[in-house]
Amino acid sequence: MKLKELEAMGYIVTKKGRILTSKKEVVPIRYRKGKPIINVRVDGANIKVSVHHIVAEKYCSESMGKGRTCVAFLDGDATNTLPSNLRWASVQATRETSEHFKQLQLSIEQLKAGTLHWRVAVKKHNIPGNYAYKLWKKANESINPKSTEVTSTP
């Protein structure tokens, strides 16, 4: 379902990434395969509509087309449907963004577990230095309080 069809039925797409009924009630968002969707009733049948696609179609239309058929979440968070967090992208770019955030999350988990040195996280995974150090230090203090002294690069 496209934006024009949804708006013709009385739905309103807001700048906050929400969809309202004609009575200005927020349509509840559900998640299917991690993506935000809403159910819209058309001729007695429930149709699933991707919230991020509708919001991007309304507020990010300038980057639409030219092989860009997918909507990417800039911060990797599929619950954040604000227009400022969405952009049209190719299938390949969307996959790369997704892989980047999976790697970033894995690195953060490794820092928290103390299995990744903070300097490696900064250099190889572009995690901010202060944040990486704090996670690494906290993890290592719980394992061995003296291991947090930095002497040299691993």
Q: Do 123 and 76 share a structural domain? A: no
pLDDT (0 to 100) of residue 38: 95
Residue 58 belongs to a domain with what CATH number? 3.90.75.20
Q: What is the pTM of this model?
A: 0.61
pLDDT (0 to 100) of residue 108: 84
Domain-located, residue 53: yes
Q: Do 100 and 85 share a structural domain? A: no
Q: Do 13 and 52 share a structural domain? A: yes
Domain-located, residue 153: no
Number of domains in the chain: 2
Q: Do 58 and 131 share a structural domain? A: no
pLDDT (0 to 100) of residue 1: 76
Q: Do 107 and 57 share a structural domain? A: no
pLDDT (0 to 100) of residue 67: 66
Which stretches of the chain score pLDDT less than 70?
Answer: 62-67, 97-100, 142-154
Structural domain including 29 reads 3-89
3-state percent breakdown (helix, strand, coil) of the chain, nearest 5:
45, 20, 35
Question: Last residue of some domain: 49, 69, 89?
Answer: 89
pLDDT (0 to 100) of residue 8: 92
Q: Do 101 and 59 share a structural domain? A: no
pLDDT (0 to 100) of residue 52: 93
Q: Do 78 and 99 share a structural domain? A: no
Q: Do 48 and 11 share a structural domain? A: yes
How far CA 131 is from CA of 9, 60, 68, 118, 124, in Å, comes to 47, 32, 34, 9, 15
Tell the burial category of 71 from Cβ atoms under 10 Å away from its Cβ (0-12, 13-18, 19+).
buried
